[in-house]
A = this chain, B = another copy of it.
Amino acid sequence: MTNLGLPVPPGFTITTEACRAYLREGGLPEGLDEEVEAHLEALEGRMGKRLGAAADPLLVSVRSGAKFSMPGMMETVLNIGLNDESVQGLAKQAGDDRFAWDSYRRLIQMFGKTVLGLEGDLFETAIDDLKRGKGVVSDLDLDAADFQRLVDTYKGIVREHTGGDFPSDPREQMRQAVRAVFDSWNAPRAIIYRRQERIPEELGTAVNIVAMVYGNLGMESGTGVAFTRDPGSGQQGVYGDYLQNAQGEDVVAGIRNTVPLQRLEEIDPASYQRLLEIMKTLEDHYRDLCDIEFTIERGKLWMLQTRVGKRTAAAAFRIATQLVDQGLIDMDEAVRRVSGAQLAQLMFPRFDGGAEKKTITKGMNASPGAAVGKAVFSSERAAELAGKGEDVILVRRETTPDDLAGMIAARGVLTSRGGKTSHAAVVARGMGKTCVCGAEELDVDARAGRFTAPGGLTVQEGDVISIDGSTGEVFLGEVPVVDSPVVEYFEGVGGTADELVQAVDRVMRHADERRRMAVRANADNPEDAARARRFGAEGIGLCRTEHMFLGDRRRLVEDLILAESDEDRRAALGALEPLQKSDFVGILAAMDGLPVTIRLIDPPLHEFLPDITALSVKIAVAGDEAEPRDRRLLTAVKRLHEQNPMLGLRGVRLGLVIPGLFTMQVRAIAEAAAERRAAGGDPHAEIMIPLVSAVQELEGVRDEAEKILAETGVEALIGTMIEVPRAALTAGQIAEAARFFSFGTNDLTQMTWGFSRDDVEAAFFSRYLDLGIFGVSPFETIDRSGVGRLMRIAVEEGRATRPDIKLGICGEHGGDPESVHFCHEIGLDYVSCSPFRVPVARLEAGRAALSGGESETR
């Protein structure tokens, strides 16, 4: 910053190297205190003042130089150097007793909270008590004597809660503050946050120590924050807040009301003009929206800190393209500046911005989306009302695994406790269900079937509420939901008049130009396939065939299972084949000219049968009057019942054990392709065998399939899922029989971790996230060390065997930004994801290509 000729207070920096050594060696470097002392002496020399001297003291701030702010990390301690003597020197220096004692009590308060780790409430309560005693409401009404008394109170708090005195030695204050910054890098919350946000441990933090400038030196002083653009919309202009006679933390803490930054033009026109010049300088330098902390000390402007600023998703797209138009960045950089997560946010339906809304409260935005429904307070009730076709919002103090059924039934979930890794948050995200959690102002009484909000508002079971999972807002009554204009753009409706849509359009076109990987969609029916195509999918990476056996056709699968002779079995298969064929004709038509990967039936057959417990109870209760077909079904259900169906008779195993099942499907595919071709279409079916763990399994099925293809004169690639660890470990062999691999990372994650998603996500993932065992669920983002390592093995060894093998992914990770980068890195040819995630994957594939071999998203 000093390079830009900005007005920065003199100071020095302890570099991140000390922090890295700390991480490596488990302790701060031996010479740290000496290094700090040497720097400090140089500063004292330059300034002609001694830190915390009794007369004309130098005071400093100690501030973290971390690139990102993170929970648990120590940010700033101001006014270091004050003690019972130097406070007098400061008063004399400034000619202001009140200012000096105010600064002193601020030091003890900030030092107590951040260095000594005391509760902030202790100090805030003391000042509130003082104000109440005096009958005033503003800090401005407190005088020097009040602050002097507060210093005594604060010292007492430190003594009582730490067993020691607040350190009066100025150098000791500074050393402790410096150490506290480094220590706080390893605060448990910071560690977990870094894992979740994937900020590398070894990034480390620096510590900046600068001479104090004072915003609390009277009404000609003040402190503020400024943004070079509106972080909400991306518009250029003057955005920020200013507070007279205050120090930094007052602005954020909201103790007094700030004024809009524009008001500074009246209060201090010279500083205001200077600030505008500096904002331009910074934006030109960083070529991005900057946020700025500044202080005005008796009319002189000082710059304290700047970082590239946070912004909303819409602003991110607008700013990126605006900067291109201003010539500050190119389109490559614009694509790098936005993210798939931001694009995804823009695609969720939202509450109508123009509608009248009655806000009840605001909680945490745990899982995005907009949900409206009747409030219900138990899982049972949620399932019951949803069963009658009603929309419900499940409201709980916190959820437990017992609430799973209710969460599934509800449109959204609202809790009054727990953060973004709480059970409700984790499970809702896993389900893609709207969730607001930790709405702490609500008092939820599940037994009474109601919650109360601040101001005495009570919501009873059955009252309609609306929750916004993207903002955390909770509204009373039904708020109308509007579709996202970005989705309308992808759908090809709504045009590109909107400025945001224009920005998205430019970014997406450029990402498409740059990306190496193709993007396909997972779709099982013509409607989804057509939608995916509108969203930019270049084929179908996963067309599941088992979904085609549900509904009315379930009975045909039951017939197949109940078949007692070869003829019965063949008859059942014969009845299914034309239905399958027509399914495939529809999908091949919707994706005409593009590849469609059809996976042969995967789940165990008992999934098509009634639940064993429900059926057993039904028959037991009916006694002699039980239906004969029910009895036969129960026998079949018992025969097919499995301890661990995920690891049972499914996928290729079914194909090898049940004669005719896979051949029926392959024949339906071949005949559908032939029919499409006869009708002038251009079908590209690919046949995918699931759950292969040994090449021998694949060979048997492939040989039979090739025979059928040859008979019908249809060409189709035959390949396999890589979703069992052994398939990855023996990919070199499997590639001999497979023309393509598609990584089924859902199952691969389940088996590599030994996790059944159905069982573990609700049971203990929130606990695991809290414990930091993982930073993010391995079902959201590919676990690089475990699952990712298997994928690398399979890619390398598969390609070694068959250099032109096609490699893709069709697990849900195919639509996850970080995972898309990983897929790019290891050299996959395509990713496939749900239709709605296709634009996200396109964008991230472009960003991955622009970030070079190594992922840039850390």
Chain A residues within CB distance 8 Å of chain B: 401-402, 612-613, 616-617, 620-621, 639, 642-649, 653, 656-657, 691, 693-694, 696-697, 700, 723-726, 729-730, 733, 747, 750-756, 758-760, 763-764, 767-768, 771-774, 783, 785-787, 789-790
Whether A700 lies near B771 (C-beta < 8 A) is: yes
> How near does chain B come to A228, taking the closest CB pair, in angstroms?
41
Contact in complex: A759, B725 (CB < 8 Å): no
A647 touches B750 (CB 8 A): yes
Q: A617-B620, A763-B657, A786-B726 are in contact. Are A643 and B646 (CB under 8 A)?
A: yes
Bound CA–CA A206/B646 (angstroms): 47
Contact between chains at A653 and B693 (CB < 8 Å): no
Most interface-central of A612, A644, A785 (chain B CB within 10 A): A644
Contact of A643 among B645, B696, B768 (CB under 8 A): B645
Instruction: Tell me, in angstroms, the Cα distance from A730 to B696 when the chains sit together.
Output: 29
Partner of A649, one of B656, B693, B725, B763: B763
What 17 additional pairs, Cβ within 8 angstroms, besides A646-B754, A653-B760, A693-B754? A401-B639, A642-B756, A643-B759, A644-B645, A644-B758, A647-B759, A649-B760, A653-B763, A656-B764, A693-B752, A694-B773, A725-B790, A726-B752, A726-B785, A726-B787, A729-B789, A729-B790
Contacts of A613 in B (CB 8 A): 612-613, 616
The CA-CA distance from A184 to B525 in the complex, in Å, is 49
- The answer to whether B750 touches A725, judged by C-beta atoms less than 8 angstroms apart, is no
Whether B644 pairs with A646 at a CB distance below 8 angstroms is yes
Task: State in angstroms the CA–CA spacing of A646 and B751 once bound together.
Answer: 10
Contact partner of A756 (CB less than 8 A), chosen from B401, B643, B747, is B643
Q: Name the residue on B nearest A695 (C-beta).
A: B773
Chain B residues contacting A646 (CB-CB under 8 Å) are 643-644, 647, 754, 756
* Whole-angstrom CA separation of A392 from B402 in the bound complex: 44
- In the complex, which residue of chain B has the Cβ closest to the Cβ of A647? B756
- Cα(A768)–Cα(B773), bound, Å: 39
Give bound CA distance, A790 to B645, whole Å.
24
Max chain B CB contacts within 10 Å: which of A723, A750, A763, A771? Answer: A763
Q: Which residues of the other chain, B, contact A729 by a CB distance below 8 angstroms? A: 752, 785-786, 789-790
Q: Can you list 15 A-B contacts with CB-CB less than 8 angstroms, sorted by A residue number?
A: A621-B621, A643-B645, A643-B759, A644-B646, A644-B759, A645-B759, A647-B755, A648-B756, A648-B759, A697-B773, A725-B751, A725-B754, A726-B783, A730-B786, A747-B754
Contact in complex: B694, A725 (CB < 8 Å): no
- Chain B residues near A401 (CB-CB < 8 A): 639
Closest A-B pairs by Cβ, 7 of them: A644-B756, A647-B756, A726-B786, A648-B759, A724-B754, A696-B773, A642-B759
Q: What is the bound-complex CA distance between A337 and B298, given in angstroms?
A: 98
- Return A751 CB to nearest CB of chain B, in Å: 5
CB contacts (< 8 Å) of A726 on chain B: these are 752-754, 783, 785-787
Expressed in whole angstroms, the Cα–Cα distance for A450 and B647 within the complex equals 37
A200 to chain B, nearest CB (A): 16
Rounded to whole angstroms, the CA-CA distance of A696 and B195 in the bound complex is 12
Given contacts A620-B621, A621-B620, A760-B649, contact A402 B751 (CB under 8 A): no
Which chain B residues lie closer than 8 Å to A760 at the CB level?
Answer: 647-649, 653
Q: How far is the CA of A730 from the CA of B774 in the complex (A)?
A: 14
- Separation of A786 and B804 alpha carbons in the complex (Å): 24
The answer to whether A786 and B648 have CB atoms under 8 Å apart is: no
Which residues of the other chain, B, contact A783 by a CB distance below 8 angstroms?
A: 726
Which residues from B are CB-within-8-Å of A700? Answer: 771, 773
Closest to A644 in B: B756
A616: B residues at CB distance < 8 A: 613, 616-617
Q: Which residue of B lies closest to A657 (CB)?
A: B764
Query: Which chain B residues border A774 with CB–CB below 8 Å?
Result: 694, 696
A639 to B758, CA, bound (A): 13
From residue A410, how far is it (CB to closest CB) to chain B in Å? 19
A12 CB, nearest partner CB in chain B, Å: 37
Contact A754 B617 (CB under 8 A): no
Smallest CB-CB separation from A619: which chain B residue?
A: B617
Is A758 within 8 A of B643, CB to CB?
A: yes
Q: A616-B613, A645-B759, A759-B645 are in contact. Are A653 and B696 (CB under 8 A)?
A: no
CB distance from A587 to the nearest CB of B (A): 28
Shortest Cβ distance from residue A700 to the other chain B in the assembled complex, whole angstroms: 6
In the complex the two chains form, is A656's CB within 8 Å of B753's CB?
no
CA distance A178 to B772 in the complex (A): 68
* Cβ 8 A contact of A764, one of B621, B649, B771: B649
Instruction: Give the residues in chain B near A730, CB-CB below 8 Å.
Output: 785-786
* CB closest chain-B residue, reference A635: B402
CA distance A109 to B656 in the complex (A): 37
Residues of B within 8 A of A755 (CB): 647, 693
Cα distance A158–B347 when bound, in Å? 75
How near does chain B come to A326, taking the closest CB pair, in angstroms?
46
- Contact among B750, B764, B786 with A653 in the assembled complex (CB-CB below 8 Å): B764
Contact with A754, one of B402, B647, B764, B768 (Cβ below 8 angstroms):
B647
Contact B771 A753 (CB under 8 A): no
Nearest B-chain residue to A700, judged by Cβ: B771
Chain B residue nearest to A750 (CB atoms) is B647
> How many angstroms from the CA of A646 to the CA of B642 in the assembled complex?
12
Residue of B nearest to A401 (CB): B639
Distance to closest chain B CB from A695 (angstroms): 9
Across-interface contacts of A612 in B (CB, < 8 A)? 613
CA of A725 to CA of B697 in the docked complex: distance in angstroms?
21
Nearest B residue to A617 via CB reads B620
Query: How long is the Cα–Cα vector from A696 to B767 in the complex, in angstroms?
Result: 13
State A649–B773 Cα separation when bound (angstroms).
15
- The docked-state distance in angstroms from the alpha carbon of A786 to that of B642 is 24
Question: How far, in angstroms, from A67 to B729 measured CA to CA in the complex?
Answer: 32
Residues of B close to A758: CB separation below 8 A: 642-644
Q: Is the CB of A656 within 8 A of B771?
A: yes
Q: Is the CB of B402 within 8 A of A639?
A: yes
CB-nearest residue of chain B to A732: B785
Docked complex Cα distance between A643 and B647 (Å) = 11
Whether A786 contacts B647 in the complex (CB less than 8 A), given A620-B620, A621-B620, comes out as no
Instruction: Give the distance in Å from the alpha carbon of A402 to the alpha carbon of B785 in the complex.
Output: 41
The docked-state distance in angstroms from the alpha carbon of A633 to that of B723 is: 37
Q: Is the CB of A693 within 8 A of B759?
A: no
Once the chains bind, are A696 and B771 in contact (CB under 8 Å)? yes
List residues of chain B with CB within 8 A of the CB of A725: 725, 751-754, 786, 790
Contact pick for A644, options B647, B693, B771, CB 8 Å = B647
CB-based nearest B residue for A790: B729
Distance of A648 Cα from B755 Cα, bound (Å):
6
Q: Which B residues touch A753, using CB under 8 A?
A: 693, 724-726
A693 to B644, CA, bound (A): 19
A787 → B minimal CB distance (Å) = 8
C-alpha spacing A50/B729, complex, angstroms: 57
| Contacting residues, chain B, for A752 (C-beta < 8 A) | 693, 724-726, 729, 751
